[in-house]
Amino acid sequence: MPTESLPKSLKTFHDIGFEEIEHTADCALHIFGNNLPELLTNAAIGMTSLIAFEPSSIPDDTERHVELEAMDAESLLVEWLSELAYWAETEMLIFHRFELYNVTPNHLQAVIHGGHASGLKKHIKAVTYHNLEVIETEKGLEVTVVFDI
């Protein structure tokens, strides 16, 4: 859920970039974006809010270059979030600033900025494809992502 301490998600037609929704066993985010780069950015910020205790206190001293290929927008979203979950688990690296380039449903390039955390609030085991569908509405894009935790 967005709070004062979070990196600001990009404001969308829905006023917020994402919201946490109820799921019996795991956790899920409903994510919004005016376009695909915004949707991906808000998804990343949303995931950071799940895993970091105080995203605002994480240093901004590390960057990574990311390039991903995928078969469609949904797979791209899973790949993108899985990338961030991987760095969080293996190096306690949390990212809070995302510059995305050349985004298509099959491709993205990004420079992501963040730093090392001393601990994580939640462990994301995986990003699932459960009922995953990027829905195009008159106002923009939305998607619900379920995480295995």
Partner 1 sequence: MISNHDFKQINKYLYEIPKTFRADMRVPARFYADPELLKAIQGDRSLEQLVNTATLPGIVKYALAMPDIHQGYGFPIGGVVATQLPDGIISPGGVGYDINCGVRLLATQMEKEEVTPYLDDLASALYANCPSGVGKGGHIKLQPGELDVLVEKGANWALKRGYATESDLEHTEENGCLEGADSGKVSDRAKIRGKNQVGTLGAGNHFIEIDTVDRIYDEPAAQQMGIFPSQITVQIHCGSRGFGHQICSDYVKRFQKAIHQYGITLPDRELVCAPLSSPEGKDYLAAMKAAANYAFANRQVLTYLIRRSFEQVLAGKVKNHHLYQIYDIAHNMAKIEEHEVDGRRIKVCVHRKGATRAFGPGSPVLPGIYRDIGQPVLVPGSMGTASWVLVGTKESMTQTFGSICHGAGRVMSRSKAKKIVRGTKLREELEKKGIHVRAGSMPGLAEEAPMAYKDVDRVIQVVHGAGIAKKVARLIPLAVIKG
Binding site for partner 1 (CB under 8 A): 20, 22-27, 71, 74-75, 78-79, 82, 86, 88-90, 92, 119-123, 125-132, 146, 148-149
What's the 3-state SS for 100-113? EEEEECCEEEEEEE
At its nearest, how many Å lie between partner 1 and the CB of residue 26? 7
Q: Which is nearer to partner 1, 44 or 127 (CB)?
A: 127
At its nearest, how many Å lie between partner 1 and the CB of residue 71? 6
Q: Which is nearer to partner 1, 81 or 100 (CB)?
A: 81
Q: Taking CA 90 as the corner, what is the angle to CA 85 and CA 95, rounded to the nearest 5 degrees?
A: 50
Q: Which is nearer to partner 1, 130 or 139 (CB)?
A: 130
Q: What is the DSSP string of 41-110?
A: HHHHHHHHHHH-S-GGGS---EEEEEEEE-SSHHHHHHHHHHHHHHHHHHH-EEEEEEEEEEEETTEEEE
Q: Which is nearer to partner 1, 10 or 95 (CB)?
A: 95
Side chain identity, residue 140 = G
Find residue 112's DSSP bridge partners. 64, 98
Q: Which is nearer to partner 1, 62 or 128 (CB)?
A: 128
At its nearest, how many Å lie between partner 1 and the CB of residue 120? 4
At its nearest, how many Å lie between partner 1 and the CB of residue 60? 20
Instruction: Please give the backbone phi and psi of residue 135, each rounded to the nearest 5 degrees, phi first.
Output: -100, 130
Report how far residue 131's alpha carbon sits from residue 53's, in angstroms, rounded to the nearest whole number: 28
At its nearest, how many Å lie between partner 1 and the CB of residue 23? 6
